[in-house]
Amino acid sequence: MARPEEHTTRSRDRVGTPWAGEGAGPRAPRPAAYPGRVRARLTGRSAVEHGLRALCLAAALAPLLMLLVVTATLLVSALPAIRFSGLDFFTGRVFSFGNLYGGTPTVHHGVAAPHNASYGAAPLIVGTLLTSVIALVVAVPIAVGGALVLVERIPRRLQGGLSIFLELLAGIPSVVFGLWALLVLGPLLAQHVYPTLARLGVLVPFLRGPVGNGQGLLTASLMLAVMIVPIVAATTRDLLRTVPVLHKEAALALGMTRFEAVRVVTLPFVRNGIAAAAILGWARALGETMAVLMVSGNALNIFPYNLYAPTTTIAATIAAMLDSALTDATGMGVSALAEAGLALLTITLLTNWIGRQIARRTAGVPLPVGRGF
Amino acid sequence: MRSIRRSAADLGFWALCSLGLMMIVGPAVWIVVGLLRSALPLISFRLLAQDTAHLGLQNAIVGTLVLGLGVLVIAGPVGVGAGIYLSEFAGRRLASVARFFPEILAGVPSIVVGYAAYVLLVVRFHWGYSLLAAILAPSALVTPYVVKSTEVALRQLPTSLRDGARALGLPTVTTLRRVLLPPALPGIVNGMVVALAISTGETAPLLYTAGFSDANPTPSLLHHPVGYLTYVVYTDIQLPSARMHQLANAAADVTLLVLLALILVGRLLGYHSARRAARMSL
């Protein structure tokens, strides 16, 4: 398929405006010299077109506006909490709204919060990073391997059919993932897999200890892995189709096995694109809310003591705790959650931006928007 | 002759990759078939006839439909307009900047958008839990999908179409309306289907904008909470009652069926537009 950039506005302007064809004939007066209606006929830009152009420009600016509104709203709302906690937000281990039913409010840095309130988000940040990184480590090999088989070994006719499963995984709502992990995956793992893993704890301390009921760090991570596989796999699939056939054939003609051809030719060609897709998948895992909320075990103020321990994430905490934050008369609870949201927004914006920069600089395939549809 | 070691490595590698593919297909089938098998028997006419207070889903289904319609009304025109601007009006450099923001917006976590909507719309603007807030929050999340698909659908069209329209001296507006948009329509509609699918499955941006209501949605845009399907899944599975669990499963099943239908429609549209584009570029 031809690259879409081929027909640009520039080429249209050259054809559409008679005076732009420089050279032959006497120079036509500049269109600005004519009265409005004549100018409209000469340039082909009527009032209707100007209107449409303006409307479309407004629409094109809407995403930027939405981004600005979201960021500004969170920032303004978070300011009191930022002043109250300072750097304790990142290092503090206790995230508590304090005594919401009485007691004298504590005043700190000129901001009042309920008695005993403390907004330390370290466990949330650690939980967010741990779940998403484990998910990424599990998902990337599966996605890349699956995409390799799909593109390199399976006939083209079947590829489309198998790709439906990627779309399906990308489209399943997060509450349905959560329901599945809560009712099916978690109990299954806790009964049959985790006890075996725990026996390996003799060697690896993080695997030791009680395996719990299947709601916790590892279950949440594995579920997240399933959720981010489609982003990475769909991008890798599209990238693999851009690898020049001649290079692959040359490798095979030299007597390489297909595995060696993949290792020497294909993978170096798509490496950067896969990295970009992985970063995008990571961003999705960082921000996932409902599914994690349902299977993380909703730990409060503890760091996970082993791989099966309950944990929580920033996103899940915001969803879970806003209800009680609303009862905080000082408004500090809502503000602290806004600060957590701001931290999450910053991390995901950065990861998205880095991923897209890598893709723009090095890979020939545009990254999918959002979920990888 | 290849050594046995190299052949074995080759075999092992492809076996591992196949395992990867199975671990993509497997969970998808497992989730869908598992849920359909356990929850299809729970689906009955009763779900449509009763509201959630009486173990039905009427208000949730109606609410999800209304919200989906509202999201299309907001995200549809905005997304299509932005897509047209990116493909037809913006210069190359401006387009690459303007393309960046929808991509970034699509990556913003849904709970963050939901929380901002809560702080701004529900509290600051005094809208309360309301239909309008519950439409605007997911609209922000799914607009990028419509932008992208509109832009791609327009750009895929062969240059000859534009050249022909230009040779006829058609104004840009007429070119768009009569020449470019009709063949691009399946692709654009596909983007809306994706947007609808994603907004149907979302919960996080609705938690604190829609609230929840056991009654059917009212025509008033403000101050009246709205019920929706995914909330029932999330909430009722945590309630200590087998019948509530069944209701959650049934709600998940209905959501999944809607999604499957939308994915199917999207597939057909995508197939249709690809064939059309291929036919025209000859």
**Of residues B85, B98, B109, nearest to A289 (C-beta):** B109
* Whole-number percent of chain B with pLDDT over 90: 30
- Mean of pLDDT values over B3-8: 88
Question: What residue type is assigned to position A309 of the chain?
Answer: A
**Model confidence pLDDT, tens digit, residues A202-225:** 777 777 778 778 888 899 999 999
B-chain CB neighbours of A5 within 8 Å are 92, 155
pLDDT at A4: 44
Indicate the pLDDT class of residue B137, thresholds 50, 70 and 90.
very high
**Chain A interface, best mutation among B16, B92, B105, by max A CB count within 10 A:** B105
**Model confidence pLDDT, tens digit, residues A193-205:** 888 888 887 777 7
Indicate the pLDDT class of residue A66, thresholds 50, 70 and 90.
very high
Using DSSP, state whether B12 is helix, strand or coil.
helix
Q: Write down the CATH number for the domain with range A124-320+328-362.
A: 1.10.3720.10
Angle at which helix A122-148 crosses helix A332-362, to 10 degrees, equals: 30
Please determine, for residue B158, whether its predicted confidence score (pLDDT) is greater than 90: no
- Mean of pLDDT values over B184-201: 89
Query: Is A22 an interface residue toward B (CB < 8 Å)?
Result: no
Indicate the pLDDT class of residue B38, thresholds 50, 70 and 90.
confident
Question: Which residues are bridge partners to A118 per DSSP?
Answer: A96
**Of residues A10, A49, A319, nearest to B171 (C-beta):** A49
pLDDT at A88: 82
**Portion 226-245 of A in contact with B at CB < 8 A:** 226, 229-230, 233
**Portion 318-347 of A in contact with B at CB < 8 A:** 318-319, 322, 334, 337-338, 341, 344-345
pLDDT at A45: 65
Indicate the pLDDT class of residue A67, thresholds 50, 70 and 90.
very high
**Of residues B145, B197, B266, nearest to A369 (C-beta):** B145
What whole-number distance in Å separates Cα of residue B77 and Cα of residue A254?
Answer: 55
The runs of H, that is alpha helices, within B170-241 are 172-174, 181-201, 204-207, 229-236
Please determine, for residue A34, whether its predicted confidence score (pLDDT) is greater than 60: no
**Of residues B82, B156, B262, nearest to A60 (C-beta):** B82
* Whole-number percent of chain A with pLDDT over 90: 24
Residue A107: in which H helix or E strand, if any?
strand A106-108
Q: Which residues contact A303 (CB under 8 A, 6 or more apart)?
A: A93, A122, A123, A126
Using DSSP, state whether B108 is helix, strand or coil.
coil
B-chain CB neighbours of A371 within 8 Å are 198
Contacts across the A-B interface (CB distance below 8 Å)? 311
Topology of domain B46-280, per CATH? MetI-like fold (1.10.3720)
Confirm if A292 and B111 have CB atoms less than 8 A apart: no
Please determine, for residue A270, whether its predicted confidence score (pLDDT) is greater than 70: yes
**Model confidence pLDDT, tens digit, residues A112-141:** 777 777 888 888 899 999 999 999 999 999
The residue of chain B with its CA nearest to that of A353 is: B104
Distance (Å) from the alpha carbon of B109 to chain A's nearest alpha carbon:
5
Rg of chain B over Cα atoms, rounded to whole angstroms, equals 23
* Whole-number percent of chain B with pLDDT over 70: 98
B-chain CB neighbours of A56 within 8 Å are 81-82, 84-85, 88-89
**Model confidence pLDDT, tens digit, residues B201-244:** 888 899 888 888 877 777 788 888 888 999 999 988 888 888 88
Please determine, for residue A146, whether its predicted confidence score (pLDDT) is greater than 90: yes
Phi then psi dihedrals of residue A113, to 5 deg = -140, 160
DSSP single-letter state for residue A101: T
Please determine, for residue A29, whether its predicted confidence score (pLDDT) is greater than 60: no
Q: What is the DSSP string of A122-178?
A: HHHHHHHHHHHHHHHHHHHHHHHHHHHIIIIIS-HHHHHHHHHHHHHHHHS-HHHHH
pLDDT at A11: 40
- Mean of pLDDT values over B24-53: 85
Q: Is B255 within 8 Å of A182 when comparing Cβ atoms?
A: no
